[in-house]
């Protein structure tokens, strides 16, 4: 049997620390090895106990949790699960925690019924298990926001697909920083709660030369735009006249997720000739792996993020095992690879257009 995951609890409330211990007591594979009432105590406990995962509050005396998280990732990267009531009230706080290196961000239970506490215990245990297998690292600072592409906005005839989960909020920011994707539409499924997806799209928009939008049902695709699936809704690609549009729905979760990467990828198979590429980025589980395999079989260039640069090599690893990826690349090379695929697609389309013109009778 595997050794239990050693966990340090950091929260200024003794009652909350006691509740966390109780919530985790039934998990044979998780062991609470220590507690701290603030980041200064936590610093000493980390040195003495070397925990595998830290469960961290946001609002604490002397130093808040976000500042401590930033210092921790710079000096001693350790998997962190943020567990706070503040994260439920502020999407920006949640996204900042992800940007600083938190593996997962969870809401403290708002009630004390058996059902509410059981749900909180299950979510916290799953997050700790995911974090224990992750590779925390100090996040790079966001680049200076680039100017948006000022060219003519055209209906998109070609598109790229991106899927991600754990660690994906920052991975997607890096991919979308590449201005060479401006000639296509980019469709994104990130596993994220409904309360945070609109703010996530806005955050990506501030750091990308593309226009990043929170997807709307029936929205026509435009070149130079990226579309983020709303949390809690599947996003599919559909044909609309001579172009493409988005269809959002509330059908049952797939692979326990809604939105699901597999749903998006499968919807694009029928339009494979217009798909310039699909990439499966860091994430827990296997959502998107089968869809990526379908796209590859249909002739779409496919990419999986490599293990070394993934926070969790679950989804891309599953794709590799299915032989669903043409290429397995570090995160920093994925945007360039997809942009090159888009350029090859554009050149092929242009050549095909010129050839067709020479064959039309006068």
Each residue's pLDDT tens digit, 113-152: 889 999 999 999 999 999 999 988 766 555 555 676 655 5
Percent of the chain with pLDDT over 70: 90
- Read off the pLDDT band of 88 (50, 70, 90): low
Both tokens assigned to 50: 């070397």
Beta-sheet pairing, 275-280 with 159-164: parallel
CA 44 to chain centre: 32
Q: Is 214 a catalytic residue?
A: no
Q: Is the model's pLDDT at 354 over the cut of 70?
A: no
Whether the Cβ atoms of residue 272 and residue 296 lie closer than 8 Å to each other: no
Residues 195 and 336 in one domain: yes
- If asked whether residues 109 and 164 sit together in one domain, one would say no
- Mean of pLDDT over the chain: 90
- Residue 191 catalytic? yes
Is 29 a domain residue?
A: yes
Instruction: Single out the catalytic residue among 84, 132, 134, 165.
Output: 165
**Is residue 112 assigned to a domain?**
yes
Q: Residue 184 domain-assigned?
A: yes
C-alpha 321/C-alpha 242 separation (Å) is 36
Closest CA to 314 of 107, 44, 103, 10: 103
pLDDT category, 107, cuts 50, 70, 90?
A: confident
Does the residue 79 lie in any domain? yes
Name the catalytic one among 286, 287, 306, 341.
287
Total structural domains within the chain: 2
Whether 344 and 195 map to the same domain: the answer is yes
Q: Are residues 279 and 179 in the same domain?
A: yes
Q: In Å, how far are 224, 237, 272, 301 from 245, measured between CA atoms?
A: 14, 6, 15, 21
Q: Is the domain of 332 the same as that of 201?
A: yes
Q: What DSSP string runs through 175-240?
A: HTT-GGGGGSEEEEEE---HHHHHHHHHHHHHT-SSEEEE--TTPBPBTTEEEEPPTTSEEEEEEE
What is the tens place of the pLDDT at every residue in 2-56? 789 999 999 999 999 999 999 999 899 999 999 999 999 999 999 999 999 999 9
Q: Domain span at residue 72?
A: 5-132
Instruction: Identify the pLDDT of residue 357.
Output: 37
Concerning whether 249 is annotated as a catalytic residue, the answer is no
* 140 located within any domain: no
3-state secondary structure of 111: coil
Assess whether 128 and 164 both reside in one domain: no
- The yes-or-no verdict on residue 338 having pLDDT over 80 is yes
Phi and psi dihedrals of 100, rounded to 5?
Answer: -80, -10
CATH of the domain at 78: 3.40.50.2300
pLDDT of 141 reads 57
In a domain, 148, yes or no: no
| Options 57, 191, 262, 306, the catalytic residue | 191
Do residues 177 and 226 share a domain? Answer: yes
| pTM (predicted TM-score) | 0.89
Domain match, 163 and 301 both: yes
End-to-end CA gap in the chain: 77
Neighbours of 105 (CB within 10 A): 25
Band of residue 157 on the pLDDT scale cut at 50, 70, 90: confident
Question: Are residues 343 and 279 part of one domain?
Answer: yes
Q: Any idea what the CATH number is for the domain that residue 337 is in?
A: 3.40.50.180
User: Is there a domain that residue 144 lies in?
Assistant: no
> Which residue bears the tokens 């888009």?
342
The whole-number pLDDT of residue 242 equals 82
Query: Mean pLDDT, to the nearest integer, of 238-264?
Result: 95
Please determine, for residue 360, whether its predicted confidence score (pLDDT) is greater than 70.
Answer: no
Q: Does 34 reside within a domain?
A: yes
Q: Over 252-316, what HEC string results?
A: CCECCECCCHHHHHHHCHHHHHHEEEEEECCECCCCCHHHHHHHHHCCCCEEEECCCCCCCECHH
Is there a single domain that holds both residue 106 and residue 171? no
Side by side, which strands form the sheet with 53-56?
Answer: 30-36, 5-10, 53-56, 80-84, 104-107
Query: Half-sphere exposure (CA, 13 Å, Cβ side) for 194?
Result: 5
Q: Are both 18 and 111 inside the same structural domain?
A: yes
Verify that 230 and 112 share a domain, yes or no.
Answer: no
Contact present, 304 and 324 (Cβ < 8 Å): yes
């Amino acid at each position: 049997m595997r050794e239990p995951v050693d966990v340090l609890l950091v929260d200024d409330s003794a009652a909350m620390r006691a509740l966390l211990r109780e919530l985790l007591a039934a998990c044979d594979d998780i062991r609470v090895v220590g507690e701290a009432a603030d980041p200064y105590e936590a610093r000493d406990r980390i040195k003495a106990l070397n925990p595998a995962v830290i469960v961290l509050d946001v609002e604490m005396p002397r130093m808040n949790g976000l500042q401590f998280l930033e210092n921790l990732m710079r000096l001693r990267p350790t998997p962190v699960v943020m567990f706070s009531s503040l994260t439920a009230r502020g999407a920006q706080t949640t996204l900042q925690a992800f940007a600083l290196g938190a593996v997962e961000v969870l809401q403290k239970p708002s009630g004390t019924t058996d059902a509410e506490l059981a749900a909180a215990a299950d979510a916290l245990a799953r997050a700790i298990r995911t974090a224990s297998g992750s590779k925390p690292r100090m996040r790079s600072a966001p680049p200076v926001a680039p100017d948006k592409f000022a060219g003519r906005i055209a209906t998109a005839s070609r598109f790229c697909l991106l899927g991600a989960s754990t660690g994906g909020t920052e991975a997607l920011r890096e991919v979308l920083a590449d201005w060479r994707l401006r000639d296509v539409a980019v469709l994104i499924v990130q596993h994220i709660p409904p309360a945070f997806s609109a703010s996530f799209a806005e955050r990506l928009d501030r750091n990308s030369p593309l226009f990043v939008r929170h997807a709307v049902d029936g929205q026509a695709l435009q070149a130079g735009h990226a579309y983020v699936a709303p949390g809690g809704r599947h996003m599919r690609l559909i044909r609309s006249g001579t172009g493409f549009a988005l269809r959002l729905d509330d059908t049952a979760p797939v692979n326990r997720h809604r939105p699901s990467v597999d749903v998006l990828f499968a919807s694009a198979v029928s339009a494979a000739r217009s798909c310039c590429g699909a990439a499966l980025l860091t994430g827990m589980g296997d959502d998107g792996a089968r869809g990526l395999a379908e796209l590859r079989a249909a002739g779409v260039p496919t990419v999986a993020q490599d293990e070394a640069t993934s926070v969790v090599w679950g989804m891309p690893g599953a794709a590799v095992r299915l032989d669903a990826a043409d290429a397995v690349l570090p995160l920093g090379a994925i945007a360039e690879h997809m942009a090159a695929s888009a350029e090859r697609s554009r050149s092929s389309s242009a050549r095909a257009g010129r050839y067709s013109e020479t064959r039309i009778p006068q």
